[in-house]
Amino acid sequence: MTTTSSTSDVIKTTGLRKSFGEQVVLKDISFSLREKENLVVLGKSGSGKSVLIKCIVRLLVPDSGQIEVFGNDITSLDSEALNAMRKRIGFLFQSAALYDSMSVRQNLEFPLRRVKKMKDRKLITQKVEEVLLNVNLEDAIDKMPSQLSGGMKKRIGLARTLIMDPEIILYDEPTTGLDPISSIEICELINEIQKKYKSASIIITHDHNVVKITSTRLLMLREGVIHAEGKYEELKNSDDKWVQSFLN
C-alpha cells in the first residue's frame, strides 16, 4: 500500500546516481520539489538535466538512490502503481510530441479517451475547449500540427499535459527553438498555469528568460552534481565565477 507524504515536498530525491556505461551522469543528487513552486534546473548540455526528470517518472531507472513522489518510493512501485502515479505527473517534451496525423482537437481528446477512459462527447469537448482557453489557442482547435508555429505547438503540447489535471508538471527545455518573443510568452504562460492549477513544476532549461521569469528556486547542475541552489537574485549576486557565468 502506498502512502502520501504529510510534508510540503511533492518530490524528494536522495543520493540519486545514474550512469551510462562508464559515463556517470548523475552523482549523488539530493533535492526536494515543494508544493506550488517552479524549480528551475540549469546547467550546460550533458550535465544530467533531462536524465534527472526521466528518472523521476522512471523512463530511466537510476543505478542507486531514492526518489519519492507524493511520499511514495517511485523506484519500488509495481507497473500498476507506477502508471497511477504517472497520471498525476505531466511531462512536456522539448518537441511538444504532437501526433502529426491528428488535429489539435484529436491530439487533446486522445489522452482523455485512452487514459481517462472518458466517453461522454460533451464532457470531452468541454475539457478540450477549457485547456485551449487556458493556453490562449481556442481558435486552433481544428488545425493540424503542420499549420502551427513553433510557439503554438509548445502551447498545444502544454494543453495536452494540462488536460490530465496533473499535480506536478515536468518541463524539458520548454523554449527550445523559439524566438525571443515566443520564449517570453511561454515563460509567462508557465507562471499563469502554476497559479491557476496550483501545480508544482520542475523546469529544465538553459534559457535565461526561463530562469528569470519562472523560477521560484534554482538548482544548478555541474558535471552531474548540484553545484549551487537558491533563489535567482541570491545566485545572481554570488561570488562563484561559474555561477556568475550563467546568470550575468
Tell me the CATH class for 9-88+166-247.
alpha beta
Of 77, 83, 37, 3, nearest to 202 (Cα)?
37
Of 224, 159, 143, nearest to 196 (Cα)?
159
C-alpha cell at 38: 517552479
For the chain, the domains span 9-88+166-247
Tell me how far apart the 2 most distant CA atoms of the chain are, in Å. Answer: 58
Of 28, 161, 41, nearest to 97 (Cα)?
161
pLDDT of residue 92: 86
Whether residue 6 has pLDDT greater than 70: no
Query: Which range among 43-52, 78-87, 89-98, 221-230 shows the weakest confidence by mean pLDDT?
Result: 89-98
Which strand (E) or helix (H) includes residue 146? none
State the pairing for strand pair 9-20/23-34.
Answer: antiparallel
pLDDT of residue 115: 79
78: amino acid identity, one letter: D
pLDDT in tens, 66-113: 999 999 999 889 999 998 898 899 988 777 678 889 999 999 999 888
Over residues 45-58, the mean pLDDT reads 89
Residues 156/165, Cβ–Cβ less than 8 Å = no
| Per-residue exposure over 50-73, b if at least 16 CB sit within 10 Å of its own CB, e if not | bbbbbbbbbebebeebebbbbebe
Whether residue 248 has pLDDT greater than 60: yes
3-class SS at 14?
strand
pLDDT of residue 219: 95
pLDDT in tens, 105-136: 999 999 888 878 888 899 999 999 999 998 98
Residue found under cell 490530465: 164
Q: Rounded mean pLDDT of the chain? A: 90
Q: Spell out the residues 6+ positions from residue 215 whose beta carbon is closer than 8 angstroms to its own.
A: 38, 39, 40, 203, 231, 232
pLDDT in tens, 139-156: 999 999 999 988 899 889
Whether residue 7 has pLDDT greater than 70: no
pLDDT of residue 2: 40
Distances in Å between the alpha carbon of 196 and those of 36, 162, 167, 189, 199? 10, 11, 12, 10, 8
